[in-house]
């Protein structure tokens, strides 16, 4: 480590600002590799259905228990820039294909670890980078060759793949059931354009409610709001609903500062209150006049307005999340109105039925038979909040996997079989390459074998024996041989239906290789002096910013 001061003709010249830290060459590279390895190591024990969960406690003391790679990384606060870089890559993987995050990070970590061995042997990073790039391209090419097509019109085939992504132990008992719901929801939401399918996951809303068990989870055609009808005098069920969807309050907004109104007589108070009441009444009259029999707003509805709405026989719901308001508008064909004064009949949406129903101990509002039939809600039920949270994460993985299959309906064997086969072919091909690049390609193959190695470890198998057997069977032409972590044996993955979408796997290879290459390319770290107050508080607000809408505003 050197500072920003350089000697020139005996005089020290300040190049970097005072307090800057500079790390160069091998030191920089090693410090980065070390950081990436730590992240990969943390995640590796969570890989696969027998992986371990992590308990994460945030700065506010909130606890998350999860085995989901993306969720673990989201909660983890890291300091090292290279570790941050790896987390960015994982997030990109999650956004792109929604699954394979753990695998991508573990693979990137292993690629770097093995690159370090080559560095130790004196091989220049540029050669390693070139070798890794070639290996990545070849691996993706081979992946396309060995992938097999499935028929996405066949729900059973989709469900079999989706099931594998529901690998979290917490939801394991209900895997078949939840996979079927994910497939049914997707089949409703998917749009066929020509011979292509487009599944927009925005159409699929997930709501969580405590209940007896995950097996009570239901699929509802329409939108379910975690809200009650606002006033007991209102109807609880409206057939042929005409729905006003508002981003406007039905209350007189209180000024932000305390104001003093001087009144000199009881008449003046009365007049003042009457004025308020009249404004609210005029809003309600307007809504009734254009034919609305359901009012759903993002903002509040005060008691006076509730009273008038009830008198008109209008069902009203208040303080609905913004994302739900948007979904409602899309599903019912409503326009989101921000000023009640200007609302027109054509702004109203429609639904065959709007009804408040009891779900467990609480009430929810169901908006069904919408003109846009693609809107669906998965109403997750489970015995505890932590189960529901993990079920939601798993359900998201399953939905993403289904979306991937609609995009590209090809699958590869799971349980490390895919990685073993790619590794085998990379070795055969790499041996023909000249010089030191060959070494990098062979390391790439070795890194891929790390995935079955970890799966074997989580299944309590001896990893050396397992890899030896896998190599033997792959050499004999059994492409589908992998680790069945549930039975703890080397098995034919196609036979036991452990398969992954091709899209997830090619993305894993690409993002892991690109992350490793990016980190290997860095040979200079220049860190500005830390400001006294900076650092931790900033990173907290960054990670907190993404949430927001998951907390309801009630």
Catalytic site includes residue 338:
no
Tell me: does residue 420 bind ligand ADP (CB under 6 A): no
Tell me: does residue 98 bind ligand ADP (CB under 6 A): no
Chain residue whose CB lies nearest Mg ion: 99
DSSP secondary structure letters along 294-313: EEEESS-B-HHHHHHHHHTT
Q: Which of 510, 508, 503 is nearest to 149 (CA)?
A: 503
Nearer to Mg ion, 364 or 398 (CB): 398
Of 41-49, 261-269, 313-321, 365-373, the segment contacting ligand ADP by CB under 6 A is: 41-49
Catalytic site includes residue 45:
no
Nearer to Mg ion, 160 or 310 (CB): 160
Tell me: does residue 167 bind ligand ADP (CB under 6 A): yes
Catalytic annotation, pick one of 66, 102, 297, 458: 102
User: Helix 303-311 vs helix 266-289: angle between axes, to the nearest 10 degrees?
Assistant: 50
Tell me: does residue 49 bind ligand ADP (CB under 6 A): yes
d(CA 68, CA 511): 18
Catalytic site includes residue 226:
no
Pick one of Mg ion, ligand ADP, none as the site partner of residue 356 (Cβ within 5 to 8 A by kind): none
- HEC letters along 190-241: CEEECCEEECCHHHEEEEEEECCCHHHCEEEEEEEECCCCCCCCCCCEEEEE
Chain residue whose CB lies nearest ligand ADP: 414
Q: DSSP character for 432?
A: T
Of 101-109, 317-325, 351-359, 544-552, the segment contacting ligand ADP by CB under 6 A is: 101-109
524, exposed or middle or buried, with CB in 10 Å at 0-12, 13-18, 19+?
A: exposed
List the one residue from 485, 494, 509, 517 that touches ligand ADP (CB under 6 A): 485
Tell me: does residue 109 bind ligand ADP (CB under 6 A): no
Residue 321: HSE in the Cβ half-sphere, 13 Å Cα cutoff: 16
Tell me: does residue 394 bind ligand ADP (CB under 6 A): no
Q: Which of 177, 207, 514, 146 is nearest to 378 (CA)?
A: 207
Nearer to ligand ADP, 69 or 409 (CB): 69
- Token digits of residue 239: 């057939």
Q: How far is the CB of 409 from ligand ADP (least distance, A)?
A: 18
How long is the chain? 554
Interface with ligand ADP (CB under 6 A), residue total: 21
Catalytic site includes residue 184:
no
Q: How far is the CB of 546 from ligand ADP (least distance, A)?
A: 19
- HEC letters along 459-490: CCCCHHHHHHHHHHHHHCCCCCEEEECCCCEE
Tell me: does residue 69 bind ligand ADP (CB under 6 A): yes
Q: How far is the CB of 464 from ligand ADP (least distance, A)?
A: 18
Which distant-in-sequence residues (6+ apart) come within 8 Å of 212 by Cβ? 381, 383
List the one residue from 16, 38, 146, 486 that touches ligand ADP (CB under 6 A): 486
Within residues 501-530, the interface with ligand ADP by CB under 6 A covers: none
- Which residues of the shown chain bind Mg ion in the complex (CB under 5 A)? 99, 165
Q: Which of 392, 537, 389 is nearest to 63 (CA)?
A: 389
Nearer to ligand ADP, 100 or 382 (CB): 100
Tell me: does residue 455 bind ligand ADP (CB under 6 A): yes
Q: Which of 412, 477, 478, 400 is nearest to 451 (CA)?
A: 412
Residue numbers annotated as active site: 68, 101-102, 397
Residues that bind ligand ADP (CB under 6 A): 47-49, 51, 69, 99-103, 164, 167, 414-415, 455, 483-486, 498, 500
């Amino acid at each position: 480590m050197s500072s920003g001061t350089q000697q020139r003709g005996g005089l020290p010249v300040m190049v970097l600002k005072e307090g800057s830290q500079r790390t160069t060459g091998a030191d920089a590279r090693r410090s980065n590799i070390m950081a990436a390895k730590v992240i990969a190591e943390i995640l590796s024990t969570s890989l696969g259905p027998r992986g371990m969960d992590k308990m994460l406690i945030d700065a506010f003391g909130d606890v998350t228990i999860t085995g989901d790679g993306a969720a673990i990384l989201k909660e983890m606060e890291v300091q090292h820039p290279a570790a941050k870089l790896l987390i960015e890559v994982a997030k990109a993987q999650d956004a792109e294909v929604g699954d394979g995050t753990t695998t991508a990070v573990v693979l990137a970590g292993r690629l770097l670890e093995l690159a370090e061995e080559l560095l130790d042997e004196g091989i220049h990073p540029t050669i390693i980078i070139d070798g890794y790039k070639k290996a990545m391209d070849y691996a993706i090419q081979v992946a396309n060759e060995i992938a097999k097509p499935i028929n996405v019109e066949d729900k059973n085939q989709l469900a079999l793949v989706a099931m594998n992504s529901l690998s979290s132990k917490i939801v394991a008992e209900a895997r078949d059931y939840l996979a079927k719901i994910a497939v049914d929801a997707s089949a409703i939401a998917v749009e066929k354009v020509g011979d292509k399918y487009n599944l927009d996951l925005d159409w699929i809303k997930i709501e969580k409610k405590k209940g007896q068990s995950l097996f009570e989870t239901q699929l509802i055609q329409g939108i379910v709001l975690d809200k009650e009808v606002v006033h007991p005098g209102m109807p609880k069920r409206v057939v042929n609903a005409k729905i006003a969807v508002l981003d406007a309050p039905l209350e007189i907004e209180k000024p932000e500062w305390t104001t003093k109104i001087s009144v000199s007589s009881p008449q003046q108070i009365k007049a003042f209150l009457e004025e308020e009441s009249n404004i609210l009444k005029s809003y309600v009259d307007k809504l009734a006049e254009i034919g609305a029999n359901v009012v759903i707003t993002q903002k509040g509805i005060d008691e006076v307005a509730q009273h008038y709405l009830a008198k008109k026989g209008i069902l009203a719901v208040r303080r609905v999340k913004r994302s739900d308001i948007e979904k409602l508008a899309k599903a019912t064909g409503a326009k989101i109105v921000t000023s009640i004064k200007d609302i027109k009949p054509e702004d109203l949406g429609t639904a065959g039925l709007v009804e408040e129903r009891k779900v467990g101990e609480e009430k929810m509002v169901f908006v069904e038979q919408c003109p846009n039939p693609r809107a669906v809600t998965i109403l997750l039920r489970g015995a505890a909040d932590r189960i529901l949270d993990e079920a939601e994460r798993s359900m998201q993985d399953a939905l993403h996997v289904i979306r991937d299959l609609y995009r590209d309906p090809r699958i590869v064997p799971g349980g490390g079989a895919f990685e073993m086969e790619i590794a085998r072919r990379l070795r055969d091909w790499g041996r023909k390459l000249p010089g030191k690049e060959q070494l990098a390609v062979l390391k790439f193959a070795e890194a891929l074998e790390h995935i079955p190695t970890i799966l074997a470890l989580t299944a309590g198998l001896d990893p050396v024996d397992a890899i030896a057997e896998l190599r033997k069977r792959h050499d004999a032409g059994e492409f589908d041989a992998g680790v069945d972590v549930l039975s703890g044996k080397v098995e034919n993955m196609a036979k036991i239906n452990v398969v992954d979408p091709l899209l997830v796997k090619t993305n894993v290879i690409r993002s892991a290789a690109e992350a490793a290459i990016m980190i290997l390319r860095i040979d200079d770290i220049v860190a500005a002096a830390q400001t006294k107050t900076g650092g931790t508080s900033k990173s907290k607000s960054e990670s907190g910013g993404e949430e927001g809408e998951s907390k309801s505003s009630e």
